[in-house]
Amino acid sequence: MKQVIGSSLAVCMLLTLGLQGCTYLNSSLQVLTGPPTLAEQMIGMGTVESVRAVKIGANNGPANGMGMAGSNRNSAPTGFVGGIAGAVANNTLETAIAIKDGLEITVHLDDGNVRVITQESTGEVFQTGDRVRLLSSDNGMRITH
């Protein structure tokens, strides 16, 4: 009985993870695809006033899982437990993968306005006093040298 539950749980978890598919979330500023590559961008010049390291997390919504029901009376509870375990494991994994290092950059623009932009850290170093470009379009804003 315990072996059947353990095997069913393992199969359920594998199927749950397999059916969830692989999600490729790349918000890196180095990889531009889709609308940002086709959209006109406005450029503003300014000076960095401050830089703060932050963590950027994606809101993945509620946990997802798939329970499996079988033909005998012990399969439904096993499938239910497996579905819950798979949902918890999947949500934990997605959350860990979705948290990225980021920067909150305050820029004093040459036109007198001040903007605070939070963006994923790409290795580009920003320091107080740096001259930077603020690129803005319908898809958002980002800062670059």
pLDDT digit string, tens, across residues 20-68? 544 444 444 466 656 556 678 899 999 999 999 999 987 655 544 444 4
Other beta carbons within 10 angstroms of residue 93's beta carbon come to 12
- Which of 51-55, 70-74, 79-83, 125-129 shows the lowest mean pLDDT across its residues? 70-74
Per the structure block, which two tokens stand in for 17?
């993870």
Provide the pLDDT for residue 17.
53
Provide the pLDDT for residue 34.
60
70 compared with 101, residue with greater pLDDT: 101
Specify the residue for token string 């033909």: 71
Annotated domain spans of the chain: 2-144
Q: What is the pTM of this model?
A: 0.55
> Does pLDDT of 71 surpass 60?
no
The DSSP element (H or E) to which 81 belongs, if any, is helix 75-98
d(CA 74, CA 80): 10
Instruction: Quote the longest CA-to-CA distance of the chain.
Output: 73
> Does pLDDT of 140 surpass 90?
no
pLDDT band at 132; cut points 50, 70, 90: very high
Amino acid letter, residue 13: M
Contact at 8 Å (CB) between 40 and 137? yes
| pLDDT above 70: percentage of residues in the chain | 49
Provide the pLDDT for residue 93.
65
